[in-house]
Structure formats: structure tokens, C-alpha cells
């Protein structure tokens, strides 16, 4: 597995709003800059090919939406080269690590060479979708360290 340097990781705090397909995201870069957005994923042909819309928010807009009840997911995203990023989860999901890669189409996705450090392919397993993890949690006994390859979330 590639070396992961916490000093270069982005902190991602996701709030999944119950009863909706909405996710409120706050991304803090290593330099301290912050991006806040409200996203919605739409049904697609599978988990890896779902269209998504984002609305970028200022601090006041984010604060209003962050006051709503939500399921929280916190992770640190490490860019490791080759288009891959590894998410290292915190809190109740500590121990879970997922790798993501983005591809523009199925042909590009099919051409990806999966690194040897990937131990399982869970792209279409809803158990590992962000909203499911935030709401239902993850059971470490099911798979100790899982790595996925998927079109995944935007960076």
C-alpha cells in the first residue's frame, strides 16, 4: 500500500440528510482552505455510474443546512497517484479504508490496472456507499480492510 501522509490529506466531513438523496459536504484542504457544498446523487445504471449535482455554499448557507439532523461520516482523502485516492475513515468507521478512482466512461474504467494493494472490489456493493456507511455503519468483522475501485465521488 502507498505511504499515506496525514499532512497532505484532505479532511472530508459528510452529512447525509435522512429521507433524502442529499449530502452536505465540507472539505478542508491541507492549506486550511474550505469548500462546502450540497450534493444530490440521482439513480443510474449502478452505484458507480450515478449522475450527481453539486451546489457550492458559503459559510452562512452551510451553517443553516448543517443544523439539520444528519448521519455524519468523516474521512481523510489521500491522493496516491495513478488517479487513485484512498479514504481513511474516522470515528465509528475507523479501520475502514477505501480506494477510489474516477473514470469518464466504462472504457476508461475497464482500462484501469488495479494495484496489488487493492484487496477487494466493492464498487457495486451498497454496503460501502457513503450514505449506507454513515447511517448503518460498518462491521469490521465482515472485511478487515477493504479497498474499492470505482468511479466514485468527485474530488
The verdict on residue 152 lying in a domain is no
- For the cut 80, the answer to whether the pLDDT of residue 1 exceeds it is no
The verdict on residue 148 lying in a domain is no
Residue 70 has a CB neighbour count (10 Å cut-off) of: 19
The verdict on residue 149 lying in a domain is no
pLDDT in tens, 45-59: 665 666 789 999 999
Q: What is the rounded distance in angstroms from the CA atom of residue 36 to the CA atom of residue 38?
A: 7
Q: How many domains does the chain have?
A: 1
Instruction: Name the percent of the chain in helix, strand, coil, to the closest 5.
Output: 20, 30, 45
Question: Domain limits at 53?
Answer: 8-136
Q: Binning pLDDT at 50, 70 and 90, where does residue 149 land? A: very low
We report the CATH number of the domain holding residue 121 as 2.40.320.10
Select the more confidently predicted residue: 7 or 116: 7
What local confidence, expressed as pLDDT, does residue 152 receive? 45
The verdict on residue 103 lying in a domain is yes
pTM given for the model: 0.83
Amino acid at each position: 500500500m502507498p505511504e499515506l501522509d496525514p499532512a497532505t490529506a484532505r479532511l472530508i466531513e459528510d452529512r447525509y440528510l435522512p429521507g433524502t438523496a442529499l449530502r452536505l459536504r465540507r472539505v478542508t484542504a491541507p492549506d486550511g482552505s474550505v469548500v462546502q457544498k450540497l450534493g444530490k446523487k440521482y439513480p443510474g445504471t449502478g452505484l458507480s455510474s450515478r449522475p450527481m449535482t453539486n451546489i457550492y455554499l458559503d459559510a452562512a448557507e452551510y451553517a443553516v443546512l448543517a443544523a439539520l439532523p444528519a448521519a455524519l461520516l468523516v474521512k481523510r482523502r489521500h491522493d496516491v497517484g495513478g488517479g487513485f485516492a484512498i479514504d481513511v475513515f474516522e470515528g465509528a468507521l475507523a479501520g475502514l479504508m477505501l480506494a477510489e478512482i474516477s473514470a469518464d466512461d466504462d472504457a476508461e474504467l475497464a482500462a484501469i490496472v488495479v494495484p496489488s494493494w487493492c484487496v477487494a472490489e466493492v464498487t457495486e456493493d451498497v454496503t460501502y456507499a457513503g450514505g449506507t456507511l454513515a447511517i448503518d455503519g460498518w462491521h469490521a468483522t465482515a472485511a478487515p480492510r477493504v479497498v474499492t475501485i470505482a468511479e466514485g465521488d468527485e474530488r
